[in-house]
Structure 1
Amino acid sequence: MNRRPTLLAALALTTTTALTLSACGGSSDEGSAKDKDSDKIAGADTGGEESASPSASASDSGGRPDIDFPSDAKNVFEGQKTGDPTKDAVLADSALSVNSIDEAIFKGSTDTKALGFYNTGKALSSSITYAQRYIDGNDTWTGETRFFKREVNLSGDSKAYVTYCSDESKSYIKSKKTGEVDRSPATSNSYVLYSTKLAKNADGVWQTADIVSKRGAEACQP
């Protein structure tokens, strides 16, 4: 199977999450762990309508950490600009949360500044577990992952819910030891639906606090 396992679901999201999820359709089933037939989470840049790999470009104001990707891995986020400054900030930090998890995989360490900067609570614990499975398996990934159907619902001044789909049909598991790439054909399971909860911390960073994923979701199929 192409690409990666899904981030372990931290817990079922409620209330506004259900509203956001219905915009994409589908449910909030858990993804599996280190299983090459299962789901994934990835990283991204924070540019315009479509943004590419974040190689050494994620450092902004407020002491935000750099996030580096290798040259053979790229993530493209669609729908980065909504016209609403708050929603745009949520989407940007949601993308950087995803970035930070992939960076841990690429670096072979969960002790990175970005991982704890953009993730908190159960989402952080799940992210560490997820990345560690790659590290323990001496695996990484290569290719391109596309994120689309990104939707934001705000809840007050400090909470938000984001759903999005990922297209893993062009990204693949790669062995760090041998360099071998698993280029198995894409299937319906190459598409994953994510539902996330974010909380704005005292420094103004929208941290991902909870996440649920569903591989093969009908709403994300091409």
Structure 2
Amino acid sequence: MNRPARLVAAALTASMALLMTACGSGGEDSSSDTIKGAEAGDGKTSAGPSASASPGGVKRPEITLPKEFQAIFEGWSNSDPKLQEILDDGREELRSKYAAVIEADPESDAVAFYNSEATRATARKWIKQFTDDNDSIIGKVRVFDPQAHLSDTGSGVLFYCVDERQASTKNRKTNKIVNTPDKPESLIQYRLRLDKTPQGVWKTTSLTTVPGACS
């Protein structure tokens, strides 16, 4: 959310990535990868605490969002276990940044857990925009149409859409609320590349966003 809607218009450039929306990440442009054969289910996942355990026994950070802010994930299931891993870690990467803004914590361990060094630096810069202005986020975002696949190089590619039109910033001191405009640009497509660590975590290594690309 920016002035007036930084979730839509806060722009950060990092390397080849242009970030214009909530959850700053940057790195190489992953948009050259296309989604092929992605299967998304119809289930909905709300933003409760994340699981601390994970496939392979890697302990993941618990991420909790307050009642004042909801991230509703629609269709984040896949019949392929490998693609489901990409969906799961991609979802938690997004949730970790929402939580970091709300907790006013640019150095969030959860954000570091799910991001490479390059994307973590950009995420930290984005979160700090909120903390410097004493802003938090409230309301609801809808995260939908996830598409995941494995590239020929073994990297994960994840595209998804975020509808931010029901989200707002709220100043911690003045309680002033600034709403996100009800415009097509408030529906954003996220394009991620993820690489699997030896520990089995799909870390985001690049992220680009395209405002207005989702309907």
Letter in 1 for 2:73: F
Distance (Å, rounded) in 2 between the aligned partners of 1:52 and 1:206: 21
Distance verdict in 2 for CA 1:184–1:213, change over 3 Å = closer
Structure 1 partner of 2:30: 13
Q: Alpha-carbon deviation of 1:65? A: 0.9
| 1:130-169 mapped onto 2 (5 Å cutoff) | 130-155=126-151, 158-169=154-165
Distance verdict in 2 for CA 1:153–1:9, change over 3 Å = same
Q: Alignment partner of 1:182: what SS?
A: strand
* 1:171-203 CA distance string (max 9 Å, x none): 111111122222354111211111100011011
Structure 2 partner of 1:51: 45
TM-score calculated relative to the size of structure 2: 0.81
Distance verdict in 2 for CA 1:57–1:194, change over 3 Å = closer
Unpaired segments ≥5 residues, structure 1 = 24-47
Q: Alpha-carbon deviation of 1:98? A: 0.5
Unpaired segments ≥5 residues, structure 2 = 11-20
| 1:122-133 mapped onto 2 (5 Å cutoff) | 122-133=118-129
Structure 2 partner of 1:88: 84
Structure 2 partner of 1:32: none
Structure 2 partner of 1:177: 173
Q: Alpha-carbon deviation of 1:96? A: 0.3
- Please tell me the root mean square deviation across aligned C-alpha atoms, in Å: 2.3
Identity of aligned residues (%): 27
Contact 2:146 2:158 (C-alpha < 8 Å) held by counterparts: yes
Distance verdict in 2 for CA 1:184–1:75, change over 3 Å = closer
Give the aligned length: 192
TM-score calculated relative to the size of structure 1: 0.79
Letter in 2 for 1:121: E
